[in-house]
A = this chain, B = another copy of it.
Amino acid sequence: MSQSDRTPRVRLVDVARAAGVSKTTVSDALNGAGRLPAATREHVQKVARALGYRPNATARLLRAGHTRLLGLAAREYVETPWVYADLAYFSQIVTATTQAALAHGYGVVLLPTYGPDDCWLDIPLDGVFVIDPVEGDPMVRDFLAAGVPVVADRRALAEVPVETREAGRWVDFDYGAAVRQVLDHLEAAGAERIAVVAGATTACFHQQSVRAYHEWCAEQGREPRIACLPAPGVEHTLQAVTELLAAPAPPDALFTLVELSPPLLLDTIRRLGRSVPGDLLLACTTEDSAACYTDPPISTLSFLPGETAQAAVDLLVDRLEGREGDPGHLFSADFRVRASSAVPERRGARRG
Which residues of A are in contact with B by a Cβ distance under 8 Å?
A: 1-5, 9, 52, 54-55, 57-62, 65-69, 81-86, 88, 91-92, 94-96, 98-99, 102, 105, 107-112, 115, 119, 121-127, 145-149, 164, 167, 234, 238, 261, 263-264, 267-268, 271, 288-290, 293-295, 319-322
Count of this chain's copies in the oligomeric assembly: 2
**6 A–B pairs (Cβ distance < 8 Å), ordered by A:** A54-B147, A108-B110, A261-B263, A263-B290, A263-B294, A268-B293
Bound form: Cα–Cα A346–B229 in Å: 40
Bound form: Cα–Cα A92–B268 in Å: 24
**Which residues of chain B are near A4, meaning CB under 8 Å?**
319-322
On whether the beta carbons of B115 and A102 are closer than 8 Å, the reply is: yes
Contact of A85 among B69, B95, B122 (CB under 8 A): B95
Smallest CB separation, A46 vs chain B (Å): 15
Most buried by B among A57, A125, A234: A57
Q: Known interface pairs A108-B110, A294-B267. Does A145 touch B59 (Cβ–Cβ under 8 Å)?
A: no
On whether the beta carbons of A82 and B98 are closer than 8 Å, the reply is: yes
Bound form: Cα–Cα A115–B294 in Å: 37
On whether the beta carbons of B263 and A267 are closer than 8 Å, the reply is: yes
Bound form: Cα–Cα A271–B68 in Å: 49
On whether the beta carbons of A122 and B57 are closer than 8 Å, the reply is: yes
Bound form: Cα–Cα A119–B101 in Å: 13
Bound form: Cα–Cα A126–B57 in Å: 10
Contact of A147 among B9, B61, B68, B81 (CB under 8 A): B9
On whether the beta carbons of B264 and A123 are closer than 8 Å, the reply is: no
Bound form: Cα–Cα A61–B124 in Å: 8
Q: Which residue of B lies closest to A323 (CB)?
A: B4
On whether the beta carbons of A293 and B319 are closer than 8 Å, the reply is: no
Q: Known interface pairs A98-B110, A290-B264. Does A58 touch B57 (Cβ–Cβ under 8 Å)?
A: no
- Known A-B contacts: A2-B149, A261-B288. Give 10 more (CB < 8 A): A1-B66, A2-B147, A2-B320, A9-B147, A58-B61, A85-B88, A85-B94, A85-B96, A261-B290, A267-B294
**Which residues of chain B are near A126, meaning CB under 8 Å?**
1-2
Q: Known interface pairs A123-B69, A147-B5. Does A289 touch B54 (Cβ–Cβ under 8 Å)?
A: no
Closest 4 CB pairs of A and B: A263-B263, A54-B146, A85-B95, A57-B124
**Which residues of chain B are near A57, meaning CB under 8 Å?**
121-125
Smallest CB separation, A5 vs chain B (Å): 6
**Which residues of chain B are near A124, meaning CB under 8 Å?**
1, 57-58, 61, 67, 124
Bound form: Cα–Cα A125–B69 in Å: 12
**Which residues of chain B are near A58, meaning CB under 8 Å?**
58, 61-62, 67, 124
Most buried by B among A54, A126, A148: A54
Most buried by B among A52, A60, A61: A61
Q: Known interface pairs A85-B94, A320-B2. Does A62 touch B62 (Cβ–Cβ under 8 Å)?
A: yes
Bound form: Cα–Cα A94–B96 in Å: 14
Q: Known interface pairs A2-B167, A3-B65, A94-B94. Does A293 touch B321 (Cβ–Cβ under 8 Å)?
A: no
Q: Which residue of B lies closest to A55 (CB)?
A: B121
On whether the beta carbons of A94 and B123 are closer than 8 Å, the reply is: no
Bound form: Cα–Cα A102–B73 in Å: 13
On whether the beta carbons of A107 and B102 are closer than 8 Å, the reply is: no
Q: Which residue of B lies closest to A163 (CB)?
A: B52
Bound form: Cα–Cα A167–B9 in Å: 13
